[in-house]
Amino acid sequence: MSVNKLTEGSILRSLITLSLPIVFANILHTAYNLIDTFWVGRLGENAIAAVSLSFPIIFLIISLGGGLAIAGSIFIAQYKGKGDNDKIDKVSMQTFILIIFVSLILSIVGYFSAEYLLQLMGAENNVIMNATIYLKVSFLGMLFVFIFFMFQSVLRGIGVVKLPMYVVSATVILNAILDPILINGWGVIPAYGVAGAAIATLFSQAVAAMISLYYLFRGKFGIHLKIKDIKPDWKIIKDLFKLGIPASLEQSTRAFGFALMTVLVVRFGTSSIAAYGIGTRILSFVVIPAIGLSMAASTLVGQNIGAKKIKRAEDIAIQSTIISFVILSLAGVLIYFFAHELSEFFIPGELEAIKESTNLIRIMALSFGFIGVYQVLSGTLRGAGDTFMAMIFTFISLWVLQFPIAYILSRYFLNEEGIWWSFPLSNIISTFGLIIYFMKGTWKKKKITDEEKNIIKVSEETLVEEGLN
């Protein structure tokens, strides 16, 4: 399937071509958390609660620095379009230097403030020790996380997506092997408990980082990190910050919102924290098809608007929205009826946590279809160049709807169940708002810059030329 055919021919085939590799990559990334949750769950609800409390903090720290890697990939995509290989290598090295510097600062700050951050979230004494250990080990491995993230981003910028997926696949398998050994002990290896899960992940991420550095410094896949480019180029660094900071702020705003939701949950005890951790991990897995379709729709809509095929762009948005709604609605029905079994699978024997988790999953499942619609329509707006409204709807969904609803319902009416109900209520309301905006058609009139067109083009080449059709 050629790049040209993304503006003609079967819309369904184009959606499948672009979304499948994204779905697969997200499944691999989510597998880390699911595997950790499965094995940590065997240690009881306190252990699950410790990991659940740590995750929002880790997510927030990664979000603060992740925008720089994204910025690097965008500049590399532009230089790829111009055929300037020397500039690609130089920007890659500058991105690498910057990522190392930022990750070391964030790691040091995170390591020494781990216990304070958990106390700030209101963690109970029976959870805080395990959570602190888990967090500190995770921060020790933050450098490796950022190195691989940079590797993945810069390769995506030049059109290589398979190699990072192979690396992730290998490290997920490694993590799955190490988790039970380090958590429960084996032979001469002692049982590290919750810390074992963090150590297993750290070791797997270190392997991924070492493989990444090997390929980047050998220059086998189109990007060659060279020592001669190590001297800071302040213009490139300034540009990376200029583009990366907004991306980091958008991601960290979501991460901060997730952390605040966790603070609300903490007030209701260990069982509720454990339930919330299980529920949000299941949600992160369920939305993977919607994320894939959203990113595919974004690319296709952008390309077709650029080609002045507005009607086709609208058809793409509608078809992908319907597909996403159907897939996630079916997933919601299935998960609703198997909520108890899923909860028991992740945290066996903890009756109160299982009960809470089952209730949360069933309440969330009611709006899975709407999440699918929201994701795809947001991607449509981004692809059309209407990024401001996409950001506004994200802000409204989290800060105007979900957090206030969760706070009011949990504090005055339904206790922890009020937090659970904030998920479907905010999802449904924000989705209907987004549908109304989409139907108005304002997004069709947005202008896509030449740089954005170039990035969209490279995004298509990334997926199509890799033979994933």
- Best-predicted range by mean pLDDT among 155-164, 216-225, 281-290, 321-330? 321-330
- Tens digits of per-residue pLDDT, 272-313? 999 998 998 898 889 989 988 988 888 788 778 877 888 988
* pLDDT at residue 467 tops 70: no
Distance, in Å, from the CA atom of 356 to the CA atom of 14, rounded to the nearest integer, reads: 41
Let me know: does 343 contact 271? Beta carbons within 8 Å.
Answer: no
* pLDDT at residue 3 tops 80: no
253: part of which helix (H) or strand (E)?
A: helix 234-266
* pLDDT at residue 376 tops 90: yes
Distance, in Å, from the CA atom of 270 to the CA atom of 157, rounded to the nearest integer, reads: 43
- Best-predicted range by mean pLDDT among 44-48, 132-136, 243-247? 132-136
Distance, in Å, from the CA atom of 405 to the CA atom of 401, rounded to the nearest integer, reads: 6
- Tens digits of per-residue pLDDT, 116-163? 999 988 888 888 999 999 999 999 999 998 888 888 877 776 667 678
CA 155 to chain centre: 18
Going from N- to C-terminal start, the domains of the chain cover: 1-13+268-469, 43-248
Let me know: does 345 contact 38? Beta carbons within 8 Å.
Answer: yes
Residue 56 tokens read as 């929002």
Phi, psi of 242 (to 5 degrees): -60, -40
Q: What is the pLDDT of residue 468?
A: 39
Let me know: does 367 contact 401? Beta carbons within 8 Å.
Answer: no
433: part of which helix (H) or strand (E)?
A: helix 416-440
- How many helices (H) and strands (E) the chain has is answered by 18, 0
Residue 107 tokens read as 């790691």
Residue 245 tokens read as 């900071």
Q: What is the pLDDT of residue 464?
A: 42
Q: What is the pLDDT of residue 324?
A: 95
Closest by alpha carbon to 425, among 371, 349, 462? 371
C-alpha angle 452-19-175 in degrees, rounded to nearest 5: 110
Q: Which whole-number Å values give the CA distances from 263 to 120, 121, 209, 248, 400, in the listed order?
A: 9, 5, 32, 22, 17
C-alpha angle 31-36-41 in degrees, rounded to nearest 5: 130
* pLDDT at residue 265 tops 90: yes
| Mean local confidence (pLDDT), 327-356 | 93
Collapse the DSSP code of 311 into the 3-class scheme (helix H, G, I; strand E, B; otherwise coil) and give the result.
helix
| pLDDT category of residue 452 using cuts at 50, 70 and 90 | low
DSSP per residue over 163-196, as a string?
HHHHHHHHHHHHHHHHHHHHHH-BTTBPP-THHH
* pLDDT at residue 241 tops 70: yes
* pLDDT at residue 463 tops 50: no
Q: SS3 helix, strand, coil % of the chain, rounded to 5?
A: 85, 0, 15
C-alpha angle 131-132-138 in degrees, rounded to nearest 5: 90
Q: Which whole-number Å values give the CA distances from 358 to 31, 39, 340, 342, 388, in the listed order?
A: 21, 19, 5, 8, 37
Q: What is the pLDDT of residue 460?
A: 45
| pLDDT category of residue 20 using cuts at 50, 70 and 90 | confident
| Mean local confidence (pLDDT), 240-252 | 75
Let me know: does 297 contact 317? Beta carbons within 8 Å.
Answer: yes
| Mean local confidence (pLDDT), 157-175 | 83
Q: What is the pLDDT of residue 159?
A: 64
- Best-predicted range by mean pLDDT among 47-61, 259-273, 323-337, 451-465? 323-337
Closest by alpha carbon to 40, among 269, 206, 278? 278
Lowest mean pLDDT among 99-103, 153-157, 349-353: 153-157
